[in-house]
Chain A
Amino acid sequence: MHPVHRRIEAYYTEKILCHGVGPRGVDWTCEATQALRFVQLLKLCDFSRPFSLNDVGCGYGALVGFVAQRHPEAEIDYLGVDLSPVMISRARRRHRGARGCRFAVGSGVPRLADYAVASGVMNIMLDHPRALWEEFVTDTLRRMHASSRRGFAVNFMAEKSNSAATEGLYRTDSARWTLFCQQALGGAVEVVSGYGMREFTLLVRPKNEP
């Protein structure tokens, strides 16, 4: 495992062991803010027909419960992937018997799907140098792009003006990653912002969506 992945895995494993299954266990404030992020990410998906979805950094699989509530009619072939075996163990236990729902431990995305989403995976930089962290971001975006036929969605914390950076958090400018997704990945990018959080969500679709 890459050293960055190892550190992330240790961080989140500690979180889930300390706080248990719930938003705090994946470092979010509450269920509501977690769900508001899902709302933005899922703007990528066309719910009018069945689709497959890779959830990168899925944690305990909160997205599964959200989709079941919000889109009960949706037919989704879901795969949640996370670096932390403890997270995946909790996810499997929580969603045992859920139809079309699987989980896997790993740093890669093990299958091609219609869509990929990642919520919060770019935020906790820890004490990694910024350049190294941006390599991790780049690598993750490339993997998501390579494993999704109809697009991927990912959120970032936006920069704060007139305030010092919060230690360990990665904040960035939407233009930087929009440009990367357009130029390096050849995607059509929609930036979603203004949803009450100092964040933005990128919806990246192929230029010629199948």
Chain B
Amino acid sequence: MGGLVGDSATRDVIAQINARFEAGDAILEMVALQKEFKIFSRKHSLYDSWLVLNIKASDPAERARWKDWAENYMKSKVPSDLKGVNGHDRLVRAYQENLESSRPLPMYYRHHLAKDDPRVIVSTGKGPLFSVVDHIVTSIPIKPVAGKTTA
């Protein structure tokens, strides 16, 4: 990211992602959806998978930017913690592997500064503020842009 997607759209979409993959009923629903429809797989882009779940920016212009970010920028510019795997494919793999595992965990989407680590990082750890259960944490590098309203 970095000047690609508006702040409000980013907050909006991340809130949707975290709500749909949170501990409890939500993650159970995702596991069932993955089992039935293979929503996350190499056959589908991350953006399309989110879209099937109705996870999208409410503003159509921002939606187009999210698509560009997810399908182009994340594939071509962002590496991941797995050698030879780009950021986009790493996220798809993280969703697929977790949802299809024998002990799926809730998932938490967050950001870190690209200057600290330019890679998409997937780890197991604590999720949101008040959660005490382990989550699969996907952390996305961002480059804040001075003087803009974009993240």
Kindly list chain B residues whose C-beta atoms are within 8 Å of the C-beta of A23: 54
Q: How far is the CA of A29 from the CA of B20 in the complex (A)?
A: 10
Q: Which of B29, B36, B52 contacts A31 (CB 8 A)?
A: B52
Asked if A24 contacts B54 (CB within 8 A), the reply is yes
Do the beta carbons of B36 and A33 come within 8 Å of each other?
no
Q: How far is the CA of A33 from the CA of B25 in the complex (A)?
A: 13
CB within 8 Å of A: which B7-33 residues: 25, 28-33
B37 close to A32 (CB less than 8 A): yes
State which of A54-62, A96-104, A127-135, A190-198 sits at the interface with chain B: A190-198
B25 touches A32 (CB 8 A): no
Interface of A is mostly: helix
CA distance in complex: A198, B33 (Å): 14
Q: Quick one: given A36-B33, A36-B36, A39-B36, are A196 and B52 in contact (CB under 8 Å)? A: no
Is B74 engaged at the interface, CB distance under 8 Å to the other chain? no
Q: Is B64 interfacial (CB 8 A cutoff)?
A: no
Known: A32-B37, A32-B39, A35-B37. A195 touches B32 (CB 8 A): yes
> Which residues in window 7-54 of A have CB below 8 A to B?
23-24, 29-33, 35-36, 39
Nearest residue (CB) in A for B55 is: A30
Asked if B53 is at the interface of the complex by the 8 Å CB criterion, the answer is yes
Chain A residues bordering chain B, tally (CB within 8 A): 14
Decide if A196 touches B28 in the complex (CB within 8 Å): yes
Q: How far is the CA of A29 from the CA of B25 in the complex (A)?
A: 14
Fill in one digit per residue for A159-202: 1 if any B CB lies within 8 Å of its CB, else 0.
Answer: 00000000000000000000000000000000000011110000
Q: With contacts A23-B54, A24-B54 known, is A33 near B37, CB below 8 A?
A: no
Q: Which residues of A contact B37 (CB under 8 A)?
A: 32, 35-36
Cβ distance A11 to chain B, nearest Cβ, rounded Å: 20
- B20 to A: closest C-beta gap in Å: 8
B51–chain A nearest beta-carbon distance, Å: 8
Other-chain contact of B53, A24, A30, A39, A195 (Cβ < 8 Å): A30
Chain B residue with Cβ nearest A198 = B25
A36 touches B25 (CB 8 A): no
- The residue in chain B whose Cβ has the minimal distance to the Cβ of A23 is B54
Q: List 22 A-B contacts (CB under 8 A).
A: A23-B54, A24-B54, A29-B53, A30-B52, A30-B54, A30-B55, A32-B33, A32-B52, A32-B53, A33-B33, A36-B32, A36-B33, A36-B36, A39-B36, A195-B36, A196-B28, A196-B29, A196-B30, A196-B35, A197-B25, A197-B29, A198-B25
